[in-house]
Chain A
Amino acid sequence: MDSSLILQQIINGFSLGSMYALIAIGYTMVYGVLRLINFAHGDIMMVGAYSALFCVTSMNVPFLGALSLAMLFAAALGIAIDRVAYKPLRKAPRISLLITAIGISFLIQNVFNVLFGSTPKYFPVPSYLEAVINFNNISISINSILVPILTFFILLVVLFILYKSKYGIAIRALAFDVHTVNLMGIDANRIIAIVFALGSALAAIGGIFWAVSYPSVEPSMGTLIGLKAFGAAVLGGIGSVAGAVLGGLIIGFTEVVVVAIFPDLSGFKDAFAFIFLVLILLFKPTGILGINFEKSRF
């Protein structure tokens, strides 16, 4: 394989990895504050992609407007899910929360199945994202350069919110100790709502760029992508935002590059994230940049 092809694969890998990273940030933040694998997170991503599709095709909103509307809608959905399904179970055993999350995931997926059918729908990609740069035999779409840059920018914004703002301090305090936070006069439920809104909005961006890169959306798209993103979050160290980005990049990068080098393994590319996950959990249970949570148990 010549070097230009390798370079192209590396760029594609970063692009795919950034999308996983965007989704993994939401997973890691929710796990940080609630100790809950939010199985519905991948489906929020799917809802984000669908609402952007609806804005673009039915309401003729330009792409950037659709992106913002979808983010708002996903954030509202995230908050609503927390209020309806997770908040009543704050003091329940963790297994109840996990089962509810699985139920919510299936509910969203099947509601979309009923409303829009299970066939993939074409996503109209704006022409400026489809443009291709040709450079030394490498052809790279604007999209695959834009997504990693955007992810890096979002990472900076999220880190700024987490470490410099009042709310960020509250979020980190909540992740550290739920009981003391209430004593300190912080409204834990409000902070959790903020976490859900932020994570869901990021998932929506991830979903929309996924739909742009593989121009189609379908109700079940969120399941596998979401689970792989959780794998990425654990790989990077659950609870750490930078770790989620790192894990996402590693998973996306491996998927693209390994398949390019060993085409025989292409059928197993969806398994890489889980194989990594098992290996990391066996040898380093806290992940690469992980925070040492106490032994997790229901």
Chain B
Amino acid sequence: MIARKITHLSFFIIALAVLFISPYFFNDYKIGILSNIAIFVILAVSYNLINGVTGQFSLEPNGFVAIGAYVAALVLLTSESKIDQFSLEDPSNFILMIHSPSFIVALLSAGVCAMLLSLVLAFAVFRVRGDYLAIVTLGFGIIIKLMAINFASITNGSLGLNDIPKHTTLYWSGGIAIFSVIIILNIVSSKFGRAMKAVRDDEDAALAMGINTFNIKTLAFSTSAFLEGVGGGLLACALASVSPEQFDFLFTFQLLIIIVLGGLGSTTGAIIGAILVIGGSEYLRFLDESMNIFGYETPAMPGLRMVVFSIILILVMLFARRGIMGDKELTDVLFKFSKGKKK
């Protein structure tokens, strides 16, 4: 156990060290990609908590990320900027009132708003199980996007919000990523984490053992919503703009690929998946553009990248269903000898 803790600690020290020295080695473009990867690490590990660890197939992280992005943007934008931007309807007084230049306040309010929403939604979505849960959460994701389009006095409708201060740096996103991994790992190894796994493996048995399955599911759901909201705020401040189209089902799909590829239920897997998919999609960007194959100029094919990703997802499901890590963590693999005791 102590060896495990030391290993964990050394990994975090390595991660922090990488975080602090990388600006001296990479150019701005690569720093941007690294920061993006860090944001998706936050989103993936938190999505994995509800989907992989607790086994509740939720399909609405796009909704929580959208809420977080909008809240952070509205908190950071000054009232003059809001009046300038809102062209469909005038901003409501409430929207003009909220303003804080502090990035931390913006991120925290993004997370808290997403978490409050998840607490309300939990009463509706956790009445149902399995496939129905998937479709109900997907429906809520669509409803949130429709709200972003239609409540123009709050969100500026389909035009979205622009000129958001670009506060997100690699230190912010990387630091919060490390922080969320620590939080998630601690939850997973706590009493609650074991209850979550019990709910995943057999909900009725968990209920019979005296676990309040609804509370456990809600805890996982709201923790993941909080971190997804914070991730959304980071994303908004990295891109300097938010719009409803950014957060449609495609966003959830991308997170789903990340956690399935890495291995549903494994936090290490979610991190690896985020690095592979976000880094890879940057690497595969050439697929969407025109290519020169043996002197023949192919036309630009926007969407080819998504074709490749869909095929990867299907192949993973068909041939390597457990993903890269299965449901194991890196330390489980490193300390194989302690595996025998656990089961």
Contacts and interface: CB of A to CB of B under 8 A. Distances in A.
B124 A278 contact: yes
Contact of A278 (B136, B150, B260, B318): B136
Nearest to A297: B130
7 contacts: A99-B317, A271-B142, A271-B143, A274-B142, A277-B135, A278-B139, A295-B129
A100 B317 contact: yes
A100 B318 contact: yes
Given A100-B317, A103-B313, 5 more contacts: A98-B131, A113-B303, A271-B146, A274-B142, A285-B128
Contact of B318 (A88, A94, A275): A88
Interface string A248-292: 000000000000000000011011011101100110010000000
B138 interface: yes
Interface stretch (A50-58, A129-137, A227-235): A227-235
Instruction: List the 5 shortest-distance A-B pairs measured between CB atoms, nearest first.
Output: A274-B139, A113-B303, A107-B310, A267-B150, A103-B313
Nearest to B200: A298
Contacts of B260: 99
Contact of A227 (B128, B129, B135, B317): B135
For chain B, which range describes its interface: under 10, 10 to 19, 20 to 34, or 35 or more residues? 35 or more
Contacts of B8: none
Contacts of A281: 127-128, 132, 136
Contact of B146 (A103, A110, A267, A277): A267
B302 A113 contact: yes
Contacts, number: 122
A277 B314 contact: no
Contact of A282 (B124, B256, B304): B124
Interface string A59-95: 0000000000000000000000000010011001011
A7 B128 CA distance: 38
Contacts of A31: 131
A89 B321 CA distance: 10
Contacts of B150: 267-268
Contact of A103 (B264, B303, B310): B310
Contact of B301 (A92, A114, A223, A295): A114
A118 B302 CA distance: 9
A27 to B, nearest CB: 10
Give the residue among A88, A114, A223, A227 with the most B Cβ atoms within 10 A. Answer: A114
Contacts of B149: 267
B251 interface: no
A111 interface: yes
Contacts of B329: none
A231 B142 CA distance: 13
Contact of B134 (A98, A100, A113, A285): A98
A224 interface: yes
A106 B140 CA distance: 20
Nearest to A106: B310
Interface string B95-126: 00000000000000000000000000000100
Given A98-B57, A281-B128, A296-B129, A274 B140 contact: yes
A88 B320 CA distance: 12
A104 interface: yes
A35 interface: yes
A102 B253 contact: yes
B304 A270 contact: no
A103 B313 CA distance: 6
Interface in A159-178: none
Contact of B306 (A100, A106, A274): A106
A227 B150 CA distance: 20
